[in-house]
Amino acid sequence: MHESHIGRNLEQGIATLRREDPELFDLLEQEHLRQGETLSLVASSGGTDASVMAVVGSSIVNVTAEGYPGRRYHAGCHYVDRAEELAIARAKKVFGARYVNVQPHCASFANHTVMQAVLKPGDTILGMALDQGGHLTHGSPVNLSGRLFDVHAYGLDEKGLIDYGELRALALEHRPRLIVCGTTSYTRVIDFERIRAVADEVGAYVLADVTHIAGLIAAGLHPSPIDAAHFTTTCTFKQLYGPRGGLIMMGRDADRLGDDDSRTLSQRIRSAVFPMMQGSPEVHTIAAKARAMDRLLQPGFGELAQRIRDNADALAASLARRGYDVIGGGTDNHIVLFRVPPHLNGVVAERALESCHILVNKNKIPGDTRGATVASGVRLGSNTVALRHMGPEQMERCVELIDTVLTHVRTLPEGDAQVPDDVRAQVVAAIRDLCRDFPLPYATATETL
Ligand SMILES: *Cc1c(COP(=O)(O)O)cnc(C)c1O
């Protein structure tokens, strides 16, 4: 199997790690097993193929390559240049983009970079409020974006839908230079065209941070923001199942001139990534992005994306059948948000489920009277169960197990959760069976070792 130089290197690396650093080796081994045997319904989880991990672990990591392909500050960049060009070409194809920058270290950096490319400190921006589903980097006071800019925030209406009327009213009142959209917990379709129309009315740029729904967009299961927004950002892990990293993409506005000098918007992004925000790119991650993009271009990805959707619908329907209040009545993407029963709160539900090897996260729901660290809702996502080839039938089983845990959990003082031992043992065993029947593509059943 390892009749290759990089393969031999990986194998020797693992052998050395095991011999010289058993403590760290054991942590990694345990983490690998944990992923295999727990059920991740965390909406931001994904999962990389072993080939993506192999690229991240290859010797390409040793190349320092400040700059861009063909214009590096160092010699010896022939192969990393080609890997970066491959990542760009494939990402353009996946998203139908005219310009892609594959160097951002993560989605947060991608967002900061867009802001640095087109804004000056003190400029006004409009972003979705964090507690309504926005992201920290969309102008939260605890984030650099909130410190540098004059932020106004829009949110959801009483039905839990993006309040486009409020967004427009705030835009007309405050005249932002940038409108940020894209969310972390919204279950409905985002109308990028409508946001662009508001931006055009007030002379603002639009940044669509589609980190959560990038896979559905790539598969054509959610409208694309590439041409509607001036800038589209995403991470490459969550729903793209690639390495940790970010992308900045542009469509029809890529070659448009920015308003205060002669450079195009894509040229401004290019120099904002490097040298303004970042130093040498993570070339191993860029190569892994190329690998992940190739996987997105295969027919199998369309099927995976459809499973993401089908499973999310099945989760929502089966929760509703059991009497749970599903926020918004269902979902258009991979996220399902539901209100926890009255005897619980979000954090107790999260802890109880984790003790039974079901991973979810607590989340605020519209009109929530509890803070974000307690919350009244739970957010589920179907990316990882879809990767395991689970289908609607297994979602029914998952909800049955979730319901069993939430019905039996008792809240202890300090907000700890206690699930009776017999119930816990029964659910843990059921989850283990389910996970073994539907293994992650990279972590098959332990007994095969
Ligand atoms: C997860 C997320 C991010 C942060 O991504 P990183 O790559 O971890 O920085 C940014 N925006 C949104 C909408 C997200 O959901």
* Same domain? 277 vs 389: no
Q: In what order do the strands lie in the sheet with 124-128?
A: 99-101, 246-250, 231-235, 205-209, 178-181, 124-128, 150-154
- Residue 328's pLDDT is what? 87
Determine the pLDDT at residue 261.
72
Longest dimension (CA), the chain: 69
Q: 179 and 321 share a domain?
A: no
Does residue 262 belong to any structural domain of this protein?
Answer: yes
Please check whether residues 258 and 314 belong to one and the same domain. no
pLDDT of residue 138: 97
311 and 189 belong to one structural domain: no
Give Cβ neighbours of residue 183 (< 8 Å, ≥ 6 apart). Answer: 128, 133, 134, 135, 190, 212
Question: Is residue 193 domain-shared with residue 227, that is, in the same domain?
Answer: yes
Domain match, 365 and 315 both: yes
What pLDDT does residue 132 have? 87
Binding site membership of 209 for ligand 1 (Cβ less than 6 Å): yes
Identify the domain containing residue 78 by its residue range: 61-296
Domain stops at, among 246, 277, 296: 296
Tell whether 10 is covered by a domain.
no
Ligand 1 pocket: which of 115, 137, 145, 244 to mutate (most atoms <8 Å of CB)? 137
Q: Is residue 204 part of a domain?
A: yes
Structural element, H or E, at residue 295:
helix 283-296
Q: Verify whether ligand 1 is closer than 6 Å to residue 36 (CB atom).
A: no
Task: For residue 40, tell me if it sits in a domain.
Answer: no
pTM of the model: 0.96
In a shared domain, residues 318 and 275: no
**Is 332 in the same domain as 285?**
no
Q: Kindly report the CATH number assigned to the domain that includes residue 395.
A: 3.90.1150.10
Q: What 3-state DSSP class applies to 339? A: strand
Residue 232 CB–ligand 1 contact under 6 Å:
no
252 and 333 fall within a common domain: no
Q: What's the structural domain count of the chain?
A: 2
Asked whether residue 111 falls in the same domain as residue 193, the answer is yes
Query: In terms of domains, do 205 and 317 share one?
Result: no
Distance of CA 101 to the CA centre of its chain: 18
* Residue 353 main-chain phi, psi, to 5 deg: -65, -40
Q: What local confidence, expressed as pLDDT, does residue 444 receive?
A: 60
CB-side exposure of 410: number of CA atoms within 13 Å?
6
> Tens place of pLDDT for every residue, the chain, 449 residues?
558 999 999 999 999 999 999 999 999 999 999 999 999 999 999 999 999 999 999 999 999 999 999 999 989 999 999 999 999 999 999 999 999 999 999 999 999 999 999 999 999 999 999 888 899 999 999 999 999 999 999 999 988 899 999 999 999 999 999 999 999 999 999 999 999 999 999 999 999 999 999 999 999 999 999 999 999 999 999 999 999 999 999 999 999 997 767 899 999 999 999 999 999 999 999 999 999 999 999 999 999 999 999 999 999 999 999 999 999 899 999 999 999 999 999 999 999 999 999 999 999 888 889 988 999 999 999 999 999 999 999 999 999 999 999 999 988 877 788 999 999 999 999 999 999 999 998 876 454 55
**Of 229, 263, 296, the domain-final residue:** 296
Q: Can you tell me the distance from the alpha carbon of 310 to that of 333, in angstroms, rounded to the nearest whole number?
A: 9
Ligand 1 pocket check for 163: Cβ under 6 Å? no
Which atom in ligand 1 lies closest to the alpha carbon of residue 244?
A: 7
246 ligand 1 Cβ < 6 A: yes
CA of 393 to the centre of ligand 1 (A): 30
Locate 168 and state its tokens: 């427009």
Provide the pLDDT for residue 47: 95
Q: Is 233 in the pocket of ligand 1 (CB under 6 A)?
A: no
Is 18 contained in some domain? no
- Report yes or no on 330 lying in a domain: yes
Residues 66 and 194 in one domain: yes
In a domain, 6, yes or no: no
Contact 280, 107 (CB under 8 A): no
Contacts of 354 (CB under 8 A, 6+ apart): 360
Cβ proximity of 447 and 436 under 8 Å: no
CATH number for the domain harbouring residue 199: 3.40.640.10
End-to-end CA separation in angstroms for the chain: 16
Please report whether residue 249 resides in a domain: yes
State which of 262, 296, 330 marks the end of a domain: 296
Residue 375 phi, psi (nearest 5)? 60, 160
Give me the phi and psi of 155, to 5 degrees please: -150, -150
Q: How far is CA 16 from CA 1, 20, 24, 234, 387, in A?
A: 19, 6, 11, 36, 31
Residue tagged 């540098």 (tokens): 148
